[in-house]
Chain A
Amino acid sequence: MQRLLQIFVLIGSLSGFSACSVIDDTLLTEEVGDFSRGVIALSAVITKEFALAEEVNTLGFTDNLQFQLELGGNPDTNLKSLFSASDTAARLSLLTALSGYAETLAAVVSGRSLSSEYSKLVGAAENLKQLSSGNFNLAHSLSFLDSNELVNDISLFDKLFILPERDEKLLPIVEKGGTALKKMAILLYFDIGALSDQSGKCGYTYPKNDLDTNMSSLRLCKGGLRSIVSSAISFDTNIWKDKLAYLKAQDNDNSDARSTAIERLVSIQKLGQSLDQLLSETQTTLIAMVAAHETLETTLKDAEQSSGPPTIAISKSILFHEKLRGLLETAATVKSALSALSDSAAATQNFQSSALTQPSIGESDDK
Chain B
Amino acid sequence: MTNNYKDALAGLEKAQAALNAQDVSQLPPVPLANLERSKAAVYSEIQALQAKQFANLNKDYAAITNDFRNCKSELTDLSNWVSAREARDRAIFSMLTKGVSIALSLLM
Contacts and interface: CB of A to CB of B under 8 A. Distances in A.
Interface string A231-271: 11011001101100110110000000000000000000000
Nearest to B34: A361
A71 B54 contact: no
Contacts of B44: 80
Interface residues of A, number: 52
A137 B51 contact: yes
A80 B34 contact: no
Contact of B30 (A73, A137, A138, A224): A73
B47 A139 contact: no
A231 to B, nearest CB: 6
A246 B27 CA distance: 8
Interface string A54-74: 000100110010011001111
B105 to A, nearest CB: 20
A231 B25 contact: no
A53 to B, nearest CB: 9
Given A87-B51, A133-B53, A139-B57, A71 B25 contact: no
Contact of B36 (A73, A231, A356): A73
A231 B32 CA distance: 21
A228 interface: yes
A17 to B, nearest CB: 45
Interface in A184-234: 223-224, 227-228, 231-232, 234
Interface in B37-82: 37, 39-41, 43-44, 46-48, 50-57, 65, 67, 70, 77, 81
Interface of B: 20, 23-37, 39-41, 43-44, 46-48, 50-57, 65, 67, 70, 77, 81
Interface of A: 57, 60-61, 64, 67-68, 71-76, 80, 82-83, 87, 133-140, 144, 147, 223-224, 227-228, 231-232, 234-235, 238-239, 241-242, 245-246, 248-249, 356, 358-361, 363-367
Given A144-B54, A242-B35, 7 more contacts: A80-B44, A80-B65, A136-B53, A231-B46, A365-B28, A365-B30, A365-B31
